[in-house]
Structure 1
């Protein structure tokens, strides 16, 4: 008993040293990062622009907000939802083979390493770069946004799919194998029922993220509500910026509430 107490007492100083060392490293990195930031007080022009932005957001252009033509907020939000939805669906479908090729328990190690490296490369490139590339290839518009969303979704979705694949119950497959089930039957009744709920939950979560990214992609001409937003900001039409932002906030809140409920039902069965 006394030996155990001595061991615990000897462990405490080492943990304190580790915490102090970790805190020192974090503090040093924080101070080093601050050296790259240049602090400057805002001038009169900046303060005036900030005031105009706040004023425009608080007094939005109601005519634009309730405009149901192709130039109105409702149509642009609908286009943004379509871009995010199609991009998520195509990205989720493409992520399934990538996920199985990245699962160490499914494929040999060389295949697993090559596929994982390819997915890492896909995740490394920012979505705006993909957007600019697809705009050059297919021209500006929603199609470029769908292609960008599909490709950028692969990086995250396939990685999460792998975790689900690795956690499936192998005992069910062994029991079906003992019963003489075919490979198709094992996939249909043993693997898919274990994956479908988590796969759907991950896809819904990615759609929630893609909805925000689709707004940003509009800034490079990939369709959606981002293009009129940047045009309104560049021309200092802050009342239109306010109406667009109100539509975006309401849309994201509604989609997030619905997606959270759907994911909770899927995860809880």
Structure 2
């Protein structure tokens, strides 16, 4: 038996050459990528700015950090959370019908191929570009940020929703059909219970991502805490930069812990 096992193992192809070639290609691509970097652009000013940012975090502007007005860090963080939350909710709602239209097991081939191409186009354009477009349409402010978050959420959320839809246990639906259940009853008691946990987990995960993106969108005027951050950096008010960064760090850590806990509960039942 041992000899037979050794014989079968010896028949396995030797993949050492493939691994060596793969490593060589990756290493060559990495070295080629380094040629595009201009390290001469790094000067003493950049190091000084980095040191000032760290100094601002150590010695933040406590008046800004604990200011309860609309110019304070708590309100700006709350506005950022609202932008991310509303954008995630709207994007998740819009993603549900799009996901069903993208499901090969439900829709004819021309329909799901068209919808998949539509979603690919949405995912191709970066969030900052969408932000600049909506600012031109609606003007600067949180509403442009919400619209941007909604549209960018569709690109990822609908794609993940499709994977969940394709894993539905059709045996349950066939059993309900044999009992004479209506279409509404099959959707209510056969499909929704299989989808709700995973859909909610995906939505929470996307909210976590949108919260970070909402901060970046503020840099182009789409509301949130990003605009005051860039204004403080351009004005060299490093203690205010430190206050804003501290607020962002605390917020991201809290959301990360809570979202991981909720997603774990949903996935594991």
1:268 CA displacement: 1.4
Q: Give the gaps of 5 or more residues in structure 2.
A: none
Alignment partner, residue 97 of structure 2: 97
1:118 CA displacement: 0.4
1:181 partner SS: coil
Structure 1 Cα separation of the partners of residues 195 and 209 of structure 2: 21
RMSD: 1.4
2:149 partner SS: helix
1:50 CA displacement: 2.4
TM-score by length of 2: 0.96
Alignment of 1:9 onto 2:35: no
What does the per-residue CA deviation read over 1:98-152, in whole Å, with 9 as the maximum and x for residues that have no partner?
Answer: 1001111010111111000000000000000000000000000000000000000
2:40 partner SS: coil
1:11 CA displacement: 2.8
Structure 1 Cα separation of the partners of residues 132 and 214 of structure 2: 13
Higher alpha-carbon deviation: 31-40 or 158-167: 31-40
1:47 CA displacement: 2.9
2:104 partner SS: coil
Matches within 5 A, 1:71-220: 71-220=71-220
Higher alpha-carbon deviation: 84-93 or 55-64: 55-64
Structure 1 Cα separation of the partners of residues 12 and 27 of structure 2: 24
1:40 CA displacement: 2.4
What does the per-residue CA deviation read over 1:187-224, in whole Å, with 9 as the maximum and x for residues that have no partner?
Answer: 01100000001100100110011000000000010000
Q: Give the gaps of 5 or more residues in structure 1.
A: none
What does the per-residue CA deviation read over 1:46-85, in whole Å, with 9 as the maximum and x for residues that have no partner?
Answer: 3322222221121000000010001100110000000000
Structure 2 Cα separation of the partners of residues 176 and 93 of structure 1: 27
TM-score by length of 1: 0.96
Q: Does the C-alpha gap of structure 1 residues 4 and 47 become closer, same or farther in structure 2, counting only changes over 3 Å? A: closer
Structure 1 Cα separation of the partners of residues 41 and 152 of structure 2: 38
1:255 CA displacement: 1.1
2:12 partner SS: helix
The size of the alignment, in residue pairs, is 268
Q: Does the C-alpha gap of structure 1 residues 152 and 45 become closer, same or farther in structure 2, counting only changes over 3 Å? A: same
Alignment partner, residue 248 of structure 1: 248
Structure 1 Cα separation of the partners of residues 111 and 266 of structure 2: 31
Structure 2 Cα separation of the partners of residues 263 and 213 of structure 1: 20
2:87 partner SS: helix
